[in-house]
Amino acid sequence: MAKQYGKIMTVWFGNRPTIVVSDYGSVWEVLVTKSSDFASRSMTYRSKFMTAGWRTLSTLHFSDAWYNLRKGAQSSFFHPANVLAQTPFQESDVQQMIRSIGEEATENDGVVNPLPHIRKGVVRLIGRLCFGPDFREDEYFVEAMDVIIEDTIKQMSVKSVADFFPFLRHIPGFNRPFLEAYKLKRRIEDLISPFLDQYHSPSSSSSLFEMFILAVDSTSLTIAWALVFLIHDQQIQDKLYKELIGLEYYGKEGALGLEQSRCRHNCYGEPLCMLHDPAVWKEADHFDPERFLQDAAGRPQGKLRDREEEDAAICMTAMERSFFPFGAGRRICAGMELAKPHVALGLGNLVKAFQWSSACEGKLTS
């Protein structure tokens, strides 16, 4: 659409205008330079049920209440000490994931769907952050939360005319999506409330569920899509495997060159048009995770088109301003320091433990 209508366009959904920005310079201006002007949220009425009246971190308007909520999350859940304390549990979770994938592969002649296993590992990780280290033993919660997350994504991805004309929620037939959203809200509360004390606020369950759904969906899809690209480029998969041999821990910053760049190449949430912009990247449509590595001079190996002579600082700045896997500015992802090592750890172990190839109609392809 950007090629036809330009890199800044307005799309109307009912009476709701949505501005789509795909130029990296304009995106940087929106997210960083003028972030205070664009940091608020416009939500559909249906989302009100599962966000305690739009009082969660991702739905609150930019205000003192939002600032206090984010500060609380970063000083508790995502505090560096808390994130570091998850390391031994993450390693245990990953090994459990590897075992369960191996068992499924054995039962199905080598064919496996890794995504459900990856998702449950992320549920355990977020569960420990929210409820303490003993949480990992509660497999019922893990299974139930994974199902609710999947149901929520399916429900919210199907738009209804009543989302754009909220008064229709009072009319029989049109109110069905709202009734389903309310039932989903009750399921969320019934699952999370037993882990909370009697003094928790009405928005506690919604805020905690938001942490689960945002982390599970984005992190698991990032790892899954990384596997897809590695399946389609066996040479890079083999190179990554050789780099992984002998490493005991795959999540340390800088421990892996190709592994870290592989994760950057496919971080979930990055606008595809920006990652495939030929004005920024050479061979923009080519799968090349090494483009994010730096050469001896500190320049990105994926140099900007026609700018080979510019110094390293200019190249790095231009690259970073066209790559926002965790967003930027005031709304930058609060949990990115937790997600980065988990993605690297999970993907590294998956590649080291198995040789991945595509399957067609339940059978391995040559």
pTM of the complete model = 0.83
290 exposure class (CB count in 10 Å sphere: 0-12, 13-18, 19+): middle
Runs of H (alpha helix) within the chain: 2-5, 24-28, 35-38, 64-75, 80-85, 87-107, 115-131, 139-157, 161-164, 176-192, 204-232, 234-244, 257-265, 272-275, 312-320, 336-353
Following DSSP, what letter does each residue of 30-56 receive, concatenated?
IIIITHHHH-S----GGGGGGGTTT-S
What region does 76 belong to: left with phi over 0, alpha with psi -120 to 50, or beta? alpha
3-state secondary structure of 12: strand
Token pair for residue 220? Answer: 């698991």
pLDDT at position 38, please? 82
* pLDDT beyond 80 at 323: no
pLDDT at position 136, please? 66
Token pair for residue 35? Answer: 């972030």
Any bridge partners for residue 360, and if so which? 363
Q: Is 130 annotated as a binding residue?
A: no
What average pLDDT is seen over the chain?
Answer: 80
pLDDT above 90: percentage of residues in the chain: 23
* pLDDT beyond 90 at 139: no
AA letter at 147: V
Length of the chain measured in residues: 366
pLDDT above 70: percentage of residues in the chain: 80
* φ and ψ at residue 304, rounded to 5 degrees: -70, 145
Say which residue, 174 or 280, is predicted with more confidence: 174
CA distance 69 to 77: 11
Residue-wise pLDDT for 263-314, tens only, equals 444 443 445 566 777 767 777 778 888 777 766 555 555 555 555 545 556 6
* pLDDT beyond 50 at 325: yes
pLDDT at position 254, please? 38
State the average pLDDT over residues 44-66.
86
What confidence tier does 144 reach under pLDDT thresholds 50, 70, 90?
very high
* φ and ψ at residue 157, rounded to 5 degrees: -80, -15
Centroid of chain to Cα 170? 35
CA distance 262 to 227: 10
Any bridge partners for residue 283, and if so which? none
* pLDDT beyond 50 at 256: no
Residue among 164, 150, 158 nearest 42 (CA): 164
Which range has highest mean pLDDT (39-43, 70-74, 85-89, 121-125)?
121-125
Token pair for residue 154? Answer: 């399916």
AA letter at 118: I
